[in-house]
Amino acid sequence: MVLSPQDIHNKEFSVKMRGYNIDEVNDYLDRIIKDYQLTLEDNESLKKKLSSANEQLEHFNGMKDSLNQSIIVAQNAADNLKSNAEKDSKEIYQTSHKKADKILDDASDKADLIIKNASDRAKSLLTVNDDLHKSTAQFKQKIQNLLNSQIELLNNDKWDQVINSSDDNYDNVLKKVNELDNSKSAGVKSVNNDESNDKNIEVFYPDGSSKIIK
């Protein structure tokens, strides 16, 4: 059993001859009691601190377990998240790759269609241009043939014949008219209808033909 300060204070010793000085012993015991009391108080304080430390240690141990559990949960969540992210990333990559391939295919088809339409249009324009050249050449040839025929007509000798014959005819007609006027003024009798019908006038036309007017 641990002695208390009060037990030390109440302790009585037997007295013998030539023993210790009682006052000195009592003074020393008082000092011991004070020191012992302080030691007991310090020990009690240390016990309380130790108990508090043990409680805190248990609390921290609990927190440690909880933290470890949280770390494990977080690690599992991170692993799941990483796995899901890799899976989603792979799916997104595959989907994007398919979309990119489709876009490229569509663009290639459109480019081929545009090139085909442009080629067909170019061929059509070449055909139209060739037809236009042929039509222009034919039209030029027709104009040239028409001009050549007109020049040939102008260079025909019949124009001179028409011009010369017209002059001779004009002179002959004028001469006959003057003769008629002279005969009327001289009092010559007019011929009968049968005789007048025998006097015919020949008229020449620019195309070289002629016609007898009775």
pLDDT tens for each residue of 70-99: 888 888 888 888 888 888 888 888 888 888
Please state, in angstroms and as integers, the Cα–Cα distance from residue 5 to each residue in 11, 104, 164, following that order: 10, 99, 184
Average pLDDT over residues 129-134: 84
| Mean pLDDT estimate for the chain | 77
Q: Quote the pLDDT of residue 89.
A: 85
Residue range 175-189, pLDDT digits in tens: 766 766 665 555 444
User: Cα–Cα distance between 62 and 199 in angstroms, integer?
Assistant: 161
Residue range 147-161, pLDDT digits in tens: 888 787 777 776 666
Element at 209 (helix H, strand E):
none
- pTM across the whole model: 0.32
CB 212, CB 202: distance < 8 Å: yes
Distance between alpha carbon 156 and the CA centroid of its chain, in Å? Answer: 73
Whether the predicted pLDDT of 193 surpasses 50: no
Domain residue ranges of the chain, discontinuous segments joined by +: 5-130, 157-214
CB 212, CB 200: distance < 8 Å: yes
22-31, 135-144, 187-196 — which one is most confidently predicted on average?
135-144
